[in-house]
Homo-oligomer: A and B are copies of this chain.
Amino acid sequence: MGFSLMRNQKFMPTIKHLLIISIAINAGLLLKLLHHEHEWAGLPGPDTNQKNEVRLVKDVLHKAKPATDQYINLDHGDPTMYEVYWKQMGDKTTLVLSGWQSISYFSDTKNHCWFLEPGFANAVTRLHNLVGNAQTRNYHIVVGTGSTQLFQAALYALSPSNAPEPMSIVSASPFYSSYPLIIDCLKSGLYKWKGDASKFNKDDPYIELVTSPNNPDGSIRQAVVNGSEGILVHDLAYYWPQYTPISFQANHDIMLFTVSKCTGHAGIRIGWALVKDKEVAKKMTKFIEISSIGVSKDSQLRAAKILDVIADTYEHTEKFDKATLFFHYVYNEMAKRWRQLRSAVSKGQTFSLLDFPVEKCNFSGQRFGTQPAFAWLKCEKSIDDCEKFLKKHKILTRSGTHFGSNENYVRISLISHKEEYDEFIRRLSLLSSMNSPHE
């Protein structure tokens, strides 16, 4: 029918028909693309079944402000603050994983760390070289299921297997609350938690954990024992320019980092160690082989992609908007949150915070004081138990008692969702300006 119509009609209607067909094709293609864009942005098209993604999109887009009678949980350092940045970056960090990937246990049989994805190792090296926070030349990279696993790998590698007594592990108070839990979890005969480093007898062999900037209090740290038989492990999870000035390129024997506190991807569970001594790196690898037969490839591939995009925004500035400079963006957010916090605290005499010395950051060129991921808040006046007091006002924090300190202090996460943080600041301002905050 179409053919005979063509022959019997004049020229004009045929062009009109072509136009109609062409517009119809336009519409069809647009619909198909829209469907694709939906999938690309993590929103499923009509016939896909990606429930998890839908849930996550909802979480990101519709994070509700907590109601005034709702608890705000700032006990954990859950870095949900970062979601907004990565959402804004759209599909630049989208990763496509095919069904036949991650079959083999092995990532690189030529590397002593045989489960290390070469792309992840490259991305780690590239980012350190960009930021200048740690040396990578002549270091061995070991990847772990978060820096938590690497920390255990380091203890395993550094503790002699045939010593008459377990190796003493110490850290200056206030120390990361998980250290004692992890170390004594299995009642290991290789090592044992011995608490505050400043009270340690320096004649015995020991491993000192130096966390800098420190969790919980943000202080810049160096080893305190300085005994002749000491080995140091540096936890540098927070040594990134959004939290603290990068004043030197760290070159310690063992340095631990984690994606969780660098990019905010805590659910990826990826950390890495930079290790000077090859034999130590090999023993750490052995531990991870025994305890989990390596580390998720999928997570390493995702982490590589994310770290590479961060480096790209700085190295290919012509392609990226200024607002996409990762460390600058997060630095500004942290600065704003610390201004809000200090302003709330200064409203009265109820609370106090530490001050941090101002230093020059070699990465950004700016001068600023550390603006840690956690606040180490002190309750003044008549408040004996700071955690209890805040809990009464529906703010969940972690008591100083968990960090080898006392109950006058609490650790508060500052890297949660904006909506939660704003509500926290509102409540803290009220409490701060109360005249007599009896419990």
User: Footprint of B on A, CB under 8 Å?
Assistant: 12, 15-16, 18-19, 22-23, 25-26, 29-30, 32-33, 36, 39-42, 49-53, 55-56, 60, 76, 78-80, 82-83, 86-87, 89-107, 117-119, 145-146, 148-149, 152, 156, 161, 178, 181-182, 185-190, 260, 264-270, 287, 290-299, 301-302, 304-306, 308-309
Contact = CB atoms under 8 A, between A and B. Distances in A.
Contact of A104 (B95, B99, B267): B267
Contacts of A260: 105
Given A40-B36, A94-B99, A99-B92, A269 B291 contact: no
A247 to B, nearest CB: 29
Contact of A291 (B95, B102, B152, B268): B152
Nearest to A149: B292
A156 to B, nearest CB: 7
B33 A293 contact: no
B103 A86 contact: yes
Contacts of A52: 117-119, 301, 304
Contacts of A292: 145-146, 148-149, 269, 292
A297 B55 CA distance: 14
A18 B18 CA distance: 10
Contact of A267 (B90, B105, B189, B304): B105
9 interchain residue pairs of minimum CB distance:
A93-B99, A187-B189, A102-B267, A42-B98, A86-B100, A29-B29, A267-B297, A22-B22, A186-B188
Contacts of A296: 145, 267-270, 296, 298-299
A154 to B, nearest CB: 13
A186 B51 CA distance: 41
Contacts of A89: 99-100
A409 to B, nearest CB: 23
A264 B98 contact: no
